[in-house]
Structure 1
């Protein structure tokens, strides 16, 4: 199965027209023709079964035959992860977190962040590609970058964790704090970890300090481990 992404299509539509880029991919790369079937999602939980009515490399269109909405996942996970020095590492994290099943991502600029300026346009394309590859029907929200201090002012539902590496600070394993079916937000710092002041501010504001295990992980690896931990616990019978 190959899944296409079309954010504008709705359950009430009878026909869909693809962008020039998608049309070219459908007709030139996949060599699809009139009468062939395609499946697509709008990223809002809907999966559409369609049949190509015009196989034009510049303006492909299809008739919608069936629309089904997938049930929402049993949990909500928001990962607030500091940007990495190298963009490709953060893109890897975005790809894997989307595949595993994250609902919201916020790049947080911290005291020790080596990358202070983040452009999200390419990040959105990475997430879109991962959504299609993993056959998910819900596009994760990618928020604009925000400073740590501003992020602390935001209201968060459910449980809030800050994962850091300060061994002299009390921490518990993340897996021990996850509650099934409860919204979870996890803060993960940059390569140099959170500053002591940031850890203090977070814990003072109700964030619970956690560890992701005995290994010292890169930022992007920590994001994937945290994502998988929450997904695994919530999906257990």
Structure 2
């Protein structure tokens, strides 16, 4: 299955012209030609079965044959707010794997102990897009601009909110804490963990403290662990 990301496609379109980048990949790299079948996704849950009708290397045109709506839609919403890692490759690794497993929204949060204060959202989105195409999903996770920790905890309004930290305090496991509401936000701190003040601020704003096990995890590992826990809790193909 040759899949192309087309975020600007009209969900009722009968034809579509691929971007120059996707056209080049289609014709020059994959060596597809007229009559070949391809698949388009808009990142919003629509999957289009299409046929190449003009194999121009800069503006390939396709004809839409059919559409599957809500393709691969999951039964929960997951937002992970994670402190950017000093080594940006580790954050990109998390984004790639979380996209493959299942995540809806990611927000880089700047904390007291953050060693990285800036990220290039365009680059992060490219990592996510590549993972979307690799995993054959029709939903493209939203990557938000970085935001200060305090602003984020005050503004987030999902059903259940959690903060994972290593400080001595009463905690529960994520699996035990999930109440089935279907909408979750999880805070993952920087390499030096959240400060006491940040933990208190989060709990005062309705966040529940959770543990992700008995070992100290790297930031990106903790974020991926949380992503997997939520997705496993909602799997319907295993008991």
TM-score (norm 2): 0.96
- Distance of 2:62 and 2:156 partners within structure 1: 43
Contact 2:162 2:208 in 1 (8 A): yes
Matched, 1:197 2:197: yes
Partner of 1:37: 37
How do 1:49-64 residues align onto structure 2 when only pairs under 5 Å count? 49-64=49-64
Query: Deviation at 1:10?
Result: 2.1
SS in 2 for 1:115: coil
- Distance of 1:111 and 1:5 partners within structure 2: 37
Query: Deviation at 1:66?
Result: 0.5
Query: Deviation at 1:118?
Result: 1.7
Query: Deviation at 1:159?
Result: 0.7
SS in 2 for 1:180: coil
How do 1:187-226 residues align onto structure 2 when only pairs under 5 Å count? 187-226=187-226
Matched, 1:2 2:11: no
- Distance of 2:156 and 2:210 partners within structure 1: 20
- Distance of 1:78 and 1:8 partners within structure 2: 24
Matched, 1:83 2:84: yes
Contact 1:47 1:69 in 2 (8 A): yes
The Cα offsets for residues 130-166 of structure 1, whole Å up to 9 and x where unpaired, read as 0010011011111110000111220412111000011
SS in 2 for 1:52: strand
The Cα offsets for residues 100-141 of structure 1, whole Å up to 9 and x where unpaired, read as 110111000000000011221100000011001001101111
Partner of 2:179: 179
Q: Which runs of 4+ in 1 moved over 3 A?
A: none
Query: Deviation at 1:180?
Result: 2.8
Contact 1:172 1:209 in 2 (8 A): yes
TM-score (norm 1): 0.97
The Cα offsets for residues 150-202 of structure 1, whole Å up to 9 and x where unpaired, read as 11220412111000011x21111111111234211000000000011101111
SS in 1 for 2:182: coil
Matched, 1:229 2:229: yes
Q: Which runs of 5+ in 2 are unaligned?
A: none
Contact 2:160 2:181 in 1 (8 A): no
Contact 1:127 1:140 in 2 (8 A): yes
Partner of 2:100: 99
What is the alpha-carbon root mean square deviation over aligned residues?
1.1
- Distance of 1:118 and 1:129 partners within structure 2: 18
- Distance of 2:215 and 2:17 partners within structure 1: 49
Contact 1:5 1:128 in 2 (8 A): yes
- Distance of 2:204 and 2:180 partners within structure 1: 25
Contact 1:74 1:181 in 2 (8 A): no
Q: Which runs of 5+ in 1 are unaligned?
A: none
